[in-house]
Structure 1
Amino acid sequence: MKDWKTYYNKKMPNPNLGIDIFLSEKFNKGRKFNIHWHENMQLYFFTKGNALVGCDKSRFYVTAGSIIVINNNELHFLESLSDDLKFYTIRIDPSFVFSNQVDLCQTKFFSPLSQNLICFQNLIENDKQILNCVTITIQEYFAKKIGYELAVKSFIYQLIVLLLRKYISKFLTKKELDSKVNNLKRFDLIFKYIDSNYSKKIYTKDLANIIHISTYHFCRIFKQITGKTTTDYINGVRLQKAADYLNNENMNITEIALRCGFDSINYFSRLFKRHYNVSPTKFKKDNKQPYCIL
């Protein structure tokens, strides 16, 4: 088992099938999947509410009908922006589309996909073909009528064809892929450090020293991986921790701000309102139900 904080590995419920579909609902405002990555391709299909999804350097505000494609080895997170968020997750293991007989399709398409040499655009909206394909796949998976495995596999094939024809964003060389994965592994130490020390002063030069590179190169690679500056990322972690405390602890706003590493209460309140579109006080009042962090 890989001991990386941001690496996420969940076993398939049926290893012989190689696909997992599940529904997430009653996601209150502020509930989230923290930043992570995995080796399976994944889709989010939103049917209700609003959310913020981050994929590498990009940020997407999604609503009902939106589909997000998560590529293999792609750092991402999800955060609910409403109290009624509802979405399906479709996890696809490469073995699901592979066969024992190596053929042209496997060599030309599935092998590059499994190695993340082909990357798709993340956000898909207003595409009836993709929407129908995803919807039917979900229906077949849960109905489990005779032959549903064949049906699901056929629609996943169709989905991949549509993505290949309309939503390829880039091709990676093996060297580029290796560099990307190595950076994810190396910077995992940084994500661990920030998550453990968010209440303290954190200086960029100290973070750079952890992985033994210059501050300049650290800032460049960090922005490349997360899409954020170090300061913005650290503040984001602090705001997430603050939301958790507001939901689950009997502390006042000042105590929470200080515990989360903010020296200025006014600065904390401004950042919190900008991120959640509501003041910390109102957030605490409106979100009395606890939520889970992945």
Structure 2
Amino acid sequence: HKIFDLLNQKILIHNYFPAACTQINDILCSMLDLLRFKPGGYTLLLQGYTFLLFGQLFQNHFYSEAPALSTQKKVLHLKDVLTFIDEHYAEDIRLSDLAACANMNGNYFCRYFRELTHRTPLDYLNYYRVEAACEQLSYTNKTITEIAFDCGFHDASYFVKVFKRYKNITPSEYTRADF
């Protein structure tokens, strides 16, 4: 009965499983080994492991009710906005750009975005930019000012202030930190 709910998109399988649940990890490793080595009869073995996997997922309740269709549509709108941020974070992005990406007016878009992410759109954008800056700080020899501009900040001192708000250290402390 749960398989039909899954096929009809009434439930969603979790994409994270506790480390303590070794049965699922063992089943997945066995399936990957079968795909890698392809011994005789491996397709039947894969089918068997698939049933075992779903049995474990359902037995351990690693699923949840699917959101209502209206929530799914909201998530799809949000996906477009997040993709836009991912592709354009280094550019000058205005709230109106993000709202237009979701085909909404600015005021409604802010409420909608916050409802789904628990952040304002500009807070999320700055957070994303800081994460991108962390990657550059870790893997390039660029100056902090260059990285600030590469990540969409127009003022290095503002970048340092925003960076410290999210990371609790400055960018220069971050480059010296041993994570």
- Say if 2:127 and 2:166, in contact at 8 Å, map to a contact too: no
Normalising by structure 2, report the TM-score: 0.71
State the 1:149 CA deviation: 1.5
Structure 1 residue aligned with 2:42, among 143, 148, 171? 148
Instruction: Evaluate the alpha carbon distance shift between residue 224 and residue 122 of structure 1 in structure 2; reply closer, same or farther with a 3 A threshold.
Output: farther
Structure 1 residue aligned with 2:64, among 170, 173, 186? 170
> Is 1:207 equivalent to 2:98 in the alignment?
yes
Separation in 2, partners of 1:199, 1:279: 23
Structure 2 residue aligned with 1:256, among 134, 147, 150? 147
Which residue number corresponds to residue 21 of structure 1? Answer: none
Q: Which has the higher contact order (CA 8 A, sep 6+)?
A: 1
State the 1:197 CA deviation: 3.7
Higher helix share: 2
Q: For residues 261-280 of structure 1, what are the structure 2 equivalents within 5 Å?
A: 261-262=152-153, 263=155, 264-271=158-165, 273-274=167-168, 279-280=173-174
Separation in 2, partners of 1:278, 1:167: 45
| Count of residues in Structure 1 that have an aligned counterpart in Structure 2 | 174
Separation in 1, partners of 2:66, 2:126: 32
Higher strand share: 1
Matched residues, percent identical?
Answer: 25
- Say if 1:204 and 1:230, in contact at 8 Å, map to a contact too: yes
Normalising by structure 1, report the TM-score: 0.48
CA RMSD across the alignment = 3.5
- Say if 2:95 and 2:121, in contact at 8 Å, map to a contact too: yes
State the 1:118 CA deviation: 0.7
Structure 1 residue aligned with 2:30, among 129, 132, 136? 136
Structure 1 residue aligned with 2:16, among 103, 123, 128? 123
State the 1:256 CA deviation: 0.8
Structure 2 residue aligned with 1:222, among 105, 108, 113? 113
Which residue number corresponds to residue 194 of structure 1? Answer: 85
Instruction: Evaluate the alpha carbon distance shift between residue 154 and residue 249 of structure 1 in structure 2; reply closer, same or farther with a 3 A threshold.
Output: same
* Secondary structure in 2 matching 1:123: coil
Gaps of 5+ in 1: 1-107, 287-294
State the 1:181 CA deviation: 3.9
Letter in 1 for 2:7: S
Separation in 2, partners of 1:191, 1:131: 31
Separation in 2, partners of 1:272, 1:282: 17
Structure 1 residue aligned with 2:127, among 236, 249, 252? 236
* Secondary structure in 1 matching 2:90: coil
Per-residue CA distance 1:162-214 (angstroms, 9 max, x = gap): 111222443237xx1x3344334433442343234423454435422443434
